[in-house]
Structure 1
Amino acid sequence: MKPSQAAIKLDPAAYFRANLQCEIDVMEVAESEPGHLVVVDTRRQSSWDHGHIPDAVHIPTADIPALATGLIPAGSQVVVYSWGPGFNGSTFAALAFAELGYSVKEMIGGIEYWIRNGLPVETASGINTEKPDPLVTAHA
């Protein structure tokens, strides 16, 4: 084995253990104690206006370095989300929060899977819920 190959060998268990420290699923967010998490929507304004998780804080990814410390207290457990699993916007947002020293997790599935699980979404007309998608929902 070449030295460069040995240097990049990964321990799969360590990788997945570390991954679980950085991700959270939509049902764990939905079922968390009120006030335990600061949920941050990292999408652009038009997406936020289209619908977002109730009580989420809106900070587009590009604005996190400038706005986060003024909006989110130090020591908070931050959960970031963007559109869905086909996009990595929340990964960039999680990195920005981590670089500021926050404890942060990325909500896997984003708002797409939040909606598909039949969880509430806030719009200008109020809080709405969709019928859960039986292919993805954890709801009974």
Structure 2
Amino acid sequence: MKKAAIAPALPAAQLIDARIAEYPDWRGDVLARVRALIHAADPAVVEEWKWSVPVWSHGGILCTGEVYKKAVKLTFPKGASLPDPVGLFNASLDGNARRAIDIPEGDQIDEDAFKVLILAAVALNTAA
């Protein structure tokens, strides 16, 4: 019996582009904007596709980007260990490790604080 040929997976960047295109409303705009902010903060970031969601990594996962009906959720698996002086984290606050940022329609994220948070996640992941 022949094994079925497995098509090579699309690059993560193309899958993320496709996810953004799936949402021609505010959610696609928000996901595209946070993606641009992540790249601006860390030009060495690696885009991945895991669990059917966009993942941004550098020395480990920085955050994931999930799209829901009422919010775009950015989950930081080590968020509880990150400084958040302006209070960007507003979801998953009761866990021991992760924290999340829910961005509902019409909300704006503090771009400078978000970039600082990304850099703090990079520093945590790459600390020896």
Q: TM-score range by the shorter chain?
A: under 0.3
Bigger share in strand: 2
Structure of greater relative contact order (alpha carbons < 8 Å, 6+ residues apart): 1
TM-score (norm 2): 0.24
More helix by share: 1
